């Protein structure tokens, strides 16, 4: 039993600890600090939250074979609408950030639900629906903003205060993690979700109602991406309303590596906790890139990310073989 | 005629309709474009040439990509491969002033990138899509680095326009399109390659149990896609002899749209059609041009994209109407 | 089914042919100008557009049609061909993926072509300057971009700054490379031991950015960042934590970083545009230097294009196309900013109809146009 707990603990923490050791070591060896001050830590926590929540949103549908290109477009549209509504009510005054966050969640859930509704209604493969939805949501955001950066409606002392205190994004991480763990691991919805994920036909034949489950998944994804949109706004104080022709899908690709890392960590503990730890790893990598930004260009950063993704997947998909090759032969 | 017979006839009719629907959509869009262009008093001959030029690269790259999609995989890096091939082609020409060598490099790089993706996926058992996501990042980043380093103040790299100008004629492009399409149709419809790829796409477990090698046919599929990319990169240079970091940027996603628009399921398998990319590619370009003619103004950019997306979903919905299942599709 | 399809095709073709014949008689005296754009949402681009569509179109018998966001050379060429197919008279280009192909395509299709708010490379201009369809170019050249950087650098050096942070915007975008090179020179710094424009520019292109370790001079560059991505705000925080006397940007800082810099009380300068947001940044925030174009600065090139379309081309003494460099306007205080910003608005732009009419018509001398551009 003790062994089992120890193995789980090691398996859960191995990757984050190794990543932390390597990256901290790298920074220290160059006389630099990965997280130099409090503001740097604030950004670290915000980025961790962004990656964790995006990864969750991606994995919810992807684990069920539903590929969704529209995550980025949902984040942008939710932010555009919520910032405009908030500004029209509070004019950038006190309470703007909480109202904006609440609206981002609600609007995100609604547009997620609309996306799911389209999928359920049309009954065409989700990847195709998501292509159409991405174009529609990008088009709507562009039409509302005229393609401009939204700045006036976003900027407020309230939002700056949110971004300037790490415990706010940390609270979001804790709440989102708790809600998602409860929803997917401890409710009937979650059990149905897993049943549908592992045996769609059998689950439907046993009476599980697939359509409400799928709609709920899309709504949850939308709400999560609404939060991501809010976190992005708090970090950059603007929204780029000018994305067209799939310009918004980039955010999805950043979530692949943490999704696979999270899945691996999940073998030893909980997948969602894995996503958090993977997001911490990605955030450490991001902070290290920032430290060495004058030595490692943006192009080099994307190449490093791509290589890490491939190398990790090579390990993940050839683990058995590697273990066989590396273990001592018994003659 | 009993009830079952009637159902069968009705099913066949719907099947026929679904088969011809992408062609009807293409014809309808073609007709609509002609009508709008002429009604507005514009030159139809020029417009048709423009639409052909806009569609030919997409149609060719997408036709090659059909082989990958048939297997149920998909490759998002084809736009980046096109950019990377064209970039190295331009650099080769500028270094050697040899058109044949430029062509050789373009095709070698295009097929090489494609093969690398497939070998990586096959040998290390990585999901193809993830491999191509990584390839997309790497190829775009390297191409951007080369273009901005060599392009300097011009912001892009180019070959002298007179090198490829003689080839910038519809006839040449039609010949290229026909030859490549014929090759693809032959391989896809008249050899065991296409049949086995459809089998693998439809039921990979069964197909492999009958001795069909997924790796072998995946590699063939990627080579065919690489050929399409090579031709696409060359035709891109024929149309405009320069490469910037944004060249062919939209091809990657437009391929998916084109293939689905042409009536082929994204999941591949038995319903895969080699003509889907050709029909879908030109339909998509026609639709975009029609919307551009009908909707303008700054906000119109967003509106025309919304209309285009709705039209896309409607076409996919109608073409898939006979394949509705009790459970939700994945 | 096959027969139906054949009939459908035949019908479509018949309608198209009849309509084509009918359309040949279509004629209109209004001058039709197509505008190529690669930026459809920037403040500066929107300002130009509003000037053309709202002011110029209301005061002259001319229509402007803007393209979609043109992402590459193929899109630019295709857009020009479409304008030709639609019977347009001229092209004004604000897009620069491949200027050579643009001009060649315009000439092939007998469309007048002008470069707006930018300039060709010298050898490109030489290639086309004698073509009757190439109207010319009025805008900041790369030398002007360099000079804009120099001016900003000199201003802050004159203010006595000892250390600065620099934002290189989207280097290796050539415009930003030249501005950054000028900025270093203006601050009195050398780059890789070089102090000359071409040497600095060449190195920045080679480095794909500014390498702070290669900068030497009395003024210390304590932080450098460029681009916009996931690491940007960490880098900005790193720059702010160095406590620079000023944050100098060669573009987009007022969009991306105004909040953070105003909040940190760090004076900053940017080469951007005169917008209401920047008016607030200057009056209430810490924006202390802005160099920008004003919306109606694209007026003279329109006038020259209209002249060409109307058969009164303006050419230089050798009969070549127009080439006039246009500088940036600079504001270092709210009063100057407001003068520029309010002096070029809506119905009363700097290049108003009255001003432009002086260079529209028969027998306009090249020098008159130069004088008009340089006087504003």
| Domains defined along chain C, listed by start | 31-141+295-328+350-375 (3.40.50.2300), 143-293 (3.40.50.2300)
- The residue among A39, A80, A285 with the most chain C CBs within 10 A of its CB, best to mutate, is A39
Does A297 lie in the same domain as A233? Answer: no
Does A282 lie in the same domain as A233? Answer: no
Q: Looking at CA atoms only, how far is residue C135 from chain A in angstroms?
A: 31
Give me chain C's average pLDDT, please: 89
Give the separation between CA A316 and CA A106, rounded to whole angstroms: 37
Give the separation between CA C206 and CA C200, rounded to whole angstroms: 10
Q: Can you say how many angstroms the Cα of residue C92 is from the centroid of all Cα atoms in its chain?
A: 12
pLDDT at residue C357, as a whole number? 95
Closest CA to A162 of A223, A87, A224, A237: A237
Give the separation between CA B307 and CA B310, rounded to whole angstroms: 5
Report whether B75 contacts B65 (CB < 8 A): yes
Give the separation between CA A258 and CA A281, rounded to whole angstroms: 8
pLDDT at residue A233, as a whole number? 94
pLDDT at residue C18, as a whole number? 43
DSSP secondary structure code for residue A65 in this structure: T
Q: Nearest residue of A to residue B313 by CA position?
A: A132
Regarding beta strands C134-139 and C112-116, do their DSSP bridges make them parallel or antiparallel, or are they unpaired? parallel
Give the separation between CA B128 and CA B330, rounded to whole angstroms: 17
Top-confidence range, B148-152, B211-215, C82-86:
C82-86
**Residue A326 falls within a domain, yes or no?**
no
Q: What is the mean pLDDT of residues A110-139?
A: 93
pLDDT at residue A24, as a whole number? 95
Q: Nearest residue of B to residue C10 by CA position?
A: B31
Q: Quickly state the pLDDT bin for C249 (edges 50, 70, 90).
A: very high
Q: What is the mean pLDDT of residues A230-248?
A: 89
Instruction: Please list every residue in chain B whose beta carbon sits closer than 8 Å to the beta carbon of residue A125.
Output: 265-267, 329-330
**Residue B203 falls within a domain, yes or no?**
yes
For residue C244, pLDDT over 90 is answered with yes
For residue C277, pLDDT over 80 is answered with yes
Q: Can you say how many angstroms the Cα of residue A222 is from the centroid of all Cα atoms in its chain?
A: 11
pTM of the model: 0.87
Regarding beta strands B157-158 and B242-243, do their DSSP bridges make them parallel or antiparallel, or are they unpaired? antiparallel
Closest in A143, A245, A310 to B131, CB measured = A310
Q: Tokens 């932010």 identify what position?
A: A79
Give the separation between CA A283 and CA A289, rounded to whole angstroms: 10
Q: What is the mean pLDDT of residues B242-267?
A: 86
Q: C101 and B23: CB-CB below 8 Å? A: no
Give the separation between CA A282 and CA A296, rounded to whole angstroms: 16
Among candidate residues A254, A285, A300, the one where a domain is terminated: A254
Q: Nearest residue of B to residue A314 by CA position?
A: B124
Distances (CA, A) of C334 to B67, C44, C232, C253: 62, 19, 29, 18
For residue A78, pLDDT over 90 is answered with yes
State the CATH number of the domain containing residue B48. Answer: 1.10.3470
Does A97 lie in the same domain as A24? Answer: no
Q: Quickly state the pLDDT bin for C331 (edges 50, 70, 90).
A: very high
User: The domain containing residue A9 runs over which residues?
Assistant: 1-32+255-313
* CB contact burial C119-143 (16+ within 10 A = b; e otherwise): bbbeebbeebbebebbbbbbbbbbe
Does A106 lie in the same domain as A5? Answer: no
The model's pLDDT over C27-49, given as tens digits with 9 standing for 90+, comes to: 468 999 999 998 877 778 888 98
In 3-state terms, chain C is what percent helix, strand and coil (to 5)? 50, 20, 30
Give the separation between CA C28 and CA B36, rounded to whole angstroms: 18
Closest CA to C91 of C17, C32, C22, C12: C32
Residues with Cβ within 8 Å of residue B203, at least 6 apart in sequence: B269
The model's pLDDT over A191-205, given as tens digits with 9 standing for 90+, comes to: 999 999 988 889 998
**Residue A329 falls within a domain, yes or no?**
no
Instruction: Please list every residue in chain A whose beta carbon sits closer than 8 Å to the beta carbon of residue C43.
Output: 148
Size of interface A-B (CB pairs under 8 A): 145
Strand partners, C190: C216
Alpha helix ranges (H) inside C159-309: 174-186, 197-207, 232-241, 253-256, 258-264, 276-283, 299-309
Does A267 lie in the same domain as A243? Answer: no
Q: Quickly state the pLDDT bin for A298 (edges 50, 70, 90).
A: confident
Closest in C69, C85, C178 to B50, CB measured = C85
Q: B305 and A131: CB-CB below 8 Å? A: no
Q: Which of A107-121, B241-255, C7-21, C136-150 has the least mean pLDDT?
A: C7-21
Report whether C233 contacts A43 (CB < 8 A): yes
Q: Looking at CA atoms only, how far is residue C68 from chain B in angstroms?
A: 7
Alpha helix ranges (H) inside chain A: 2-29, 38-62, 71-90, 96-122, 126-145, 157-163, 167-185, 188-198, 200-205, 210-236, 250-254, 256-266, 271-291, 298-317, 319-326
Instruction: Please report, rounded to a whole number, the percentage of residues in chain A having pLDDT higher than 70.
Output: 98
**ω into C172 cis (within 30 of 0):** yes
Contact of B313 with chain A, judged by CB distance below 8 Å, is answered with: yes
- The residue among A59, A76, A120, A125 with the most chain B CBs within 10 A of its CB, best to mutate, is A125
Does A206 lie in the same domain as A69? Answer: yes
**Residue B14 falls within a domain, yes or no?**
no
Q: Hey, which residues 251-280 in chain A have their CB within 8 Å of chain B?
A: 253, 256
Q: Looking at CA atoms only, how far is residue A128 from chain B in angstroms?
A: 8
Does A286 lie in the same domain as A152? Answer: no
Alpha helix ranges (H) inside B40-98: 44-70, 78-96
Does A105 lie in the same domain as A134? Answer: yes
Q: Quickly state the pLDDT bin for C17 (edges 50, 70, 90).
A: very low
pLDDT at residue A326, as a whole number? 72
Q: What is the mean pLDDT of residues B221-239?
A: 95
Strand partners, C131: none
Q: B145 and C121: CB-CB below 8 Å? A: no
Instruction: Please list every residue in chain A whose beta carbon sits closer than 8 Å to the beta carbon of residue C230.
Output: 47, 254, 286, 289
Q: Which two tokens mark C161?
A: 């700054």
- The residue among C41, C67, C257, C258 with the most chain A CBs within 10 A of its CB, best to mutate, is C41
Instruction: Please list every residue in chain B whose beta carbon sits closer than 8 Å to the beta carbon of residue C16.
Output: 31, 34-35, 37-38, 44
Closest in A36, A151, A289 to C231, CB measured = A289
Q: Quickly state the pLDDT bin for C68 (edges 50, 70, 90).
A: confident
Residues with Cβ within 8 Å of residue B192, at least 6 apart in sequence: none
Q: Looking at CA atoms only, how far is residue C32 from chain A in angstroms?
A: 24
- Torsion angles phi and psi, residue C275, rounded to 5: -125, 170
Regarding beta strands C246-249 and C163-167, do their DSSP bridges make them parallel or antiparallel, or are they unpaired? parallel
pLDDT at residue C14, as a whole number? 46
Q: Quickly state the pLDDT bin for C16 (edges 50, 70, 90).
A: very low
Q: B266 and A127: CB-CB below 8 Å? A: yes
Contact of A148 with chain C, judged by CB distance below 8 Å, is answered with: yes
DSSP secondary structure code for residue A301 in this structure: H
The total domain count for chain B is: 1
Closest in A145, A286, A297 to C230, CB measured = A286
Contact of A156 with chain C, judged by CB distance below 8 Å, is answered with: no
**Residue B329 falls within a domain, yes or no?**
no
Q: What is the mean pLDDT of residues A101-130?
A: 94
**Residue B2 falls within a domain, yes or no?**
no
Does A86 lie in the same domain as A230? Answer: yes
Instruction: Please list every residue in chain C whose beta carbon sits closer than 8 Å to the beta carbon of residue B36.
Output: none
Residues with Cβ within 8 Å of residue C202, at least 6 apart in sequence: B152
3-state secondary structure of B211: coil
Q: Which two tokens mark A213?
A: 């489950």
Closest in B120, B145, B309 to A136, CB measured = B309
Q: A286 and C234: CB-CB below 8 Å? A: yes
Q: Hey, which residues 234-263 in chain A have their CB within 8 Å of chain C?
A: 235-238, 241-242, 244, 254
Report whether A34 contacts A284 (CB < 8 A): yes
Does A291 lie in the same domain as A175? Answer: no
Instruction: Please list every residue in chain C whose beta carbon sits closer than 8 Å to the beta carbon of residue A43.
Output: 233-234, 237
Q: What is the mean pLDDT of residues C315-339?
A: 93
Distances (CA, A) of A191 to A96, A181, A188, A196, A197: 37, 12, 5, 9, 10
Q: Which two tokens mark A237?
A: 């104080």
Q: Looking at CA atoms only, how far is residue C107 from chain B in angstroms?
A: 14
For residue C8, pLDDT over 70 is answered with no
Q: Nearest residue of A to residue B304 by CA position?
A: A139
Which uninterrupted H or E stretch holds C337? helix C334-342
Report whether C182 contacts C147 (CB < 8 A): yes
Distances (CA, A) of A69 to A62, A133, A220, B134, B135: 10, 8, 15, 16, 18
DSSP string, C28-79: --SEEEEEEES-SS-HHHHHHHHIIIIIIHHHSSEEEEEEEE--SHHHHHHH
pLDDT at residue B177, as a whole number? 96
Contact of C207 with chain A, judged by CB distance below 8 Å, is answered with: no
Subunit partners of chain B (3 or more CB pairs within 8 A): A, C
pLDDT at residue C26, as a whole number? 43
Q: C259 and A155: CB-CB below 8 Å? A: yes
User: The domain containing residue B175 runs over which residues?
Assistant: 20-323
**Residue B9 falls within a domain, yes or no?**
no
- The residue among C176, C209, C231, C235 with the most chain A CBs within 10 A of its CB, best to mutate, is C231
Q: Quickly state the pLDDT bin for B319 (edges 50, 70, 90).
A: confident
Give the separation between CA A175 and CA A158, rounded to whole angstroms: 20
Contact of A320 with chain B, judged by CB distance below 8 Å, is answered with: no
Q: Hey, which residues 139-178 in chain B have their CB within 8 Å of chain C?
A: 145, 148-149, 152-156, 158, 161
Q: Quickly state the pLDDT bin for C20 (edges 50, 70, 90).
A: very low
Q: Quickly state the pLDDT bin for A20 (edges 50, 70, 90).
A: very high
**Residue A322 falls within a domain, yes or no?**
no
Give the separation between CA B49 and CA C318, rounded to whole angstroms: 38
Give the separation between CA B239 and CA B284, rounded to whole angstroms: 20
Q: Hey, which residues 50-69 in chain A have their CB within 8 Å of chain C?
A: none
Task: Report the interhelical angle of A126-145 vs B300-319 (nearest 10°).
Answer: 160
Instruction: Please list every residue in chain A whose beta carbon sits closer than 8 Å to the beta carbon of residue B302.
Output: 138-143, 147, 244
DSSP string, A141-178: HHHHHTTPEE-TTT--HHHHHHHT-THHHHHHHHHHHH
Q: B302 and A307: CB-CB below 8 Å? A: no
The model's pLDDT over A163-221, given as tens digits with 9 standing for 90+, comes to: 999 999 999 999 999 999 999 999 999 999 999 998 888 999 898 999 999 999 999 99
Does A148 lie in the same domain as A50? Answer: yes
* CB contact burial B142-170 (16+ within 10 A = b; e otherwise): bbbbbbbebbbebbbbbbebebbeebbee
**Residue B13 falls within a domain, yes or no?**
no
**Residue A195 falls within a domain, yes or no?**
yes
Side by side, the strands of the sheet bearing C112-116 are C62-69, C31-37, C90-94, C112-116, C134-139, C322-325
Q: Nearest residue of C to residue A292 by CA position?
A: C235
Q: Quickly state the pLDDT bin for B298 (edges 50, 70, 90).
A: low
Give me chain A's average pLDDT, please: 92
Alpha-carbon dihedral angle through residues B307, B310, B314, B320, given to the nearest 10 degrees: 140
The total domain count for chain A is: 2
In 3-state terms, chain B is what percent helix, strand and coil (to 5)? 80, 0, 20
Size of interface B-C (CB pairs under 8 A): 145
Half-sphere exposure of A94 (CA within 13 A, CB side): 0
Helices then strands, each counted (H, E), chain C:
17, 14
Does A267 lie in the same domain as A241? Answer: no
Instruction: Please list every residue in chain C whose beta carbon sits closer than 8 Å to the beta carbon of residue A289.
Output: 230-231
Q: Which residue did the predictor score with more confidence, B297 or C309? A: C309
């Amino acid at each position: 039993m003790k062994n089992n707990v120890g193995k789980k603990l090691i398996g859960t923490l191995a990757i984050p600890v190794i990543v932390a050791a390597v990256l901290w070591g790298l920074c220290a060896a160059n006389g630099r600090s990965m997280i130099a001050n409090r503001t740097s830590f604030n950004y670290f926590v915000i980025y961790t939250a962004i990656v964790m929540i995006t990864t969750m949103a991606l994995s919810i549908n992807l684990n069920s074979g539903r590929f969704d290109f529209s995550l980025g477009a949902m984040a942008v549209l939710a932010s555009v609408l919520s910032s405009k509504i908030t500004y029209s009510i509070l004019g950038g005054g006190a309470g703007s950030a909480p109202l904006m966050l609440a609206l981002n969640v609600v609007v995100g859930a609604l547009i997620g639900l609309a996306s799911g509704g389209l999928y359920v209604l049309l009954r065409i493969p989700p990847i195709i629906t998501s292509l159409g939805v991405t174009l529609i949501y990008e088009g709507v955001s562009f039409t509302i903003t005229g393609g401009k950066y939204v700045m006036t409606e976003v900027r407020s002392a309230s939002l700056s205060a949110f971004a300037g205190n790490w415990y706010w994004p940390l609270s979001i991480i804790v709440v989102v993690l708790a809600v998602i763990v409860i929803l997917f691991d401890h409710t009937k919805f979650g059990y149905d979700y897993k049943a549908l994920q592992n045996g769609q036909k059998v689950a439907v034949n046993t009476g599980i109602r697939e359509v409400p489950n799928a709609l709920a998944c899309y709504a949850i994804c939308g709400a999560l991406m609404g939060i991501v949109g809010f976190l992005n706004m708090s970090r950059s104080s603007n929204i780029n309303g000018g994305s067209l022709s799939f310009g918004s899908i980039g955010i999805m690709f950043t979530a692949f590596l943490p999704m696979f890392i999270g899945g691996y960590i999940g073998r030893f503990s909980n997948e969602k906790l894995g996503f958090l730890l993977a997001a911490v790893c990605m955030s450490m990598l991001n902070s290290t890139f920032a430290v060495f930004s004058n030595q490692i260009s943006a192009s080099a950063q994307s190449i490093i990310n791509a290589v890490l993704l491939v190398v990790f997947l090579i390990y993940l998909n050839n683990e058995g073989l590697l273990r066989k090759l590396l273990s001592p032969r018994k003659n | 005629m009993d009830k079952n017979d009637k159902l069968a006839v009705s099913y066949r009719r719907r099947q026929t309709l679904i088969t011809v629907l992408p062609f009807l959509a293409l014809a309808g869009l073609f007709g609509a474009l002609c009508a709008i262009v002429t009604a507005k008093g514009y030159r139809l001959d020029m417009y048709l040439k423009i639409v052909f030029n806009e569609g030919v690269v997409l149609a060719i790259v997408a036709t090659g990509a059909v082989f990958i999609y048939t297997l149920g995989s998909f490759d998002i890096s084809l736009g980046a491969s096109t950019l990377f091939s064209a970039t190295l082609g331009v650099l080769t020409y500028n270094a050697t002033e040899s058109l044949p060598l430029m062509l050789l490099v373009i095709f070698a790089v295009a097929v090489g990138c494609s093969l690398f993706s497939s070998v990586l996926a096959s040998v290390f058992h990585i999901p193809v899509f993830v491999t191509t996501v990584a390839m997309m990042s790497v190829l775009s980043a390297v191409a951007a680095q080369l273009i901005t380093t060599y392009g300097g103040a011009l912001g892009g790299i180019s070959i002298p326009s007179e090198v490829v100008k003689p080839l910038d004629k519809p006839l040449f492009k039609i010949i290229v399109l026909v030859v490549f399409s014929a090759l693809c149709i032959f391989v896809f419809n008249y050899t065991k390659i296409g049949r086995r790829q459809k089998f693998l796409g439809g039921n990979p477990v069964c197909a492999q149990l009958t001795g069909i090698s997924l790796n072998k046919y995946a590699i063939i599929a990627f080579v065919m896609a690489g050929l399409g990319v090579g031709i696409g990169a060359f035709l891109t240079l024929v149309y405009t002899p320069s490469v910037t970091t944004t060249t062919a940027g939209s091809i990657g996603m437009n391929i998916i749209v084109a293939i689905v628009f042409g009536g082929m399921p994204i999941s591949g398998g038995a319903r895969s059609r080699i003509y889907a990319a050709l029909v879908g590619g030109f339909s998509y370009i026609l639709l975009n041009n029609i919307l551009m003619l009908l909707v303008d103004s700054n906000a119109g950019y967003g509106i025309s994209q919304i209309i285009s997306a709705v039209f896309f979903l409607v076409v996919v919905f109608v073409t898939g109407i006979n394949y509705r299942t009790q459970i939700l599709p994945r | 089914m096959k027969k139906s399809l054949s009939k459908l095709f035949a019908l479509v073709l018949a309608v198209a042919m009849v309509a084509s014949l009918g359309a040949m008689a279509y004629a209109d005296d209004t001058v039709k100008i197509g505008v190529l754009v690669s930026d459809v949402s920037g403040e500066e681009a929107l300002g130009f557009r509003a000037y053309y569509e709202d002011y110029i179109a209301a005061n002259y018998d001319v229509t402007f049609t803007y393209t979609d966001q043109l992402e590459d050379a193929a899109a630019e060429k295709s857009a020009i061909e479409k304008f030709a197919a639609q019977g347009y008279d001229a092209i004004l280009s604000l897009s620069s993926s491949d200027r050579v192909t643009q001009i060649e395509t315009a000439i092939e299709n007998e469309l007048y072509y002008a470069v707006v708010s930018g300039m060709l490379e010298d050898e490109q201009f030489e290639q086309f300057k004698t073509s009757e369809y190439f109207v010319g170019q009025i805008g900041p050249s790369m030398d002007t971009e360099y000079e804009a950087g120099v001016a900003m650098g000199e201003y802050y050096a004159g203010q006595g700054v000892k250390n600065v942070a620099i934002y290189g915007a989207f280097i290796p975008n050539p415009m930003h490379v030249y501005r950054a090179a000028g900025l270093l020179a203006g601050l009195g710094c050398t780059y890789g031991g070089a102090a000359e424009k071409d040497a600095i520019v060449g190195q920045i292109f080679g480095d794909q950015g500014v390498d702070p370790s290669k900068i030497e001079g009395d003024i210390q560059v304590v932080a450098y960042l460029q681009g916009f991505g996931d690491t940007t705000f960490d880098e900005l925080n790193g720059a702010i934590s160095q406590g620079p006397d000023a944050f100098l940007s060669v573009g987009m800082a007022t969009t991306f970083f105004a909040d953070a810099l105003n909040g940190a009380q760090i004076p900053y300068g940017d080469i951007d545009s005169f917008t209401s947001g920047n008016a607030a940044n200057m009056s209430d925030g810490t924006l202390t230097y802005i160099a920008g174009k004003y919306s109606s600065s694209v007026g003279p090139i329109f006038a020259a294009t209209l002249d060409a379309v109307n058969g009164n081309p303006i050419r230089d003494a050798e009969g070549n196309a127009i080439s006039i460099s246009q500088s940036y306007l600079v504001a270092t205080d709210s009063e100057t900013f407001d003068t520029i910003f309010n002096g070029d608005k809506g119905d009363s732009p700097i290049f108003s109809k009255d001003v432009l009419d002086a260079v529209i018509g028969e027998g306009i001398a090249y020098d008159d146009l130069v004088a008009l551009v340089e006087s504003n």
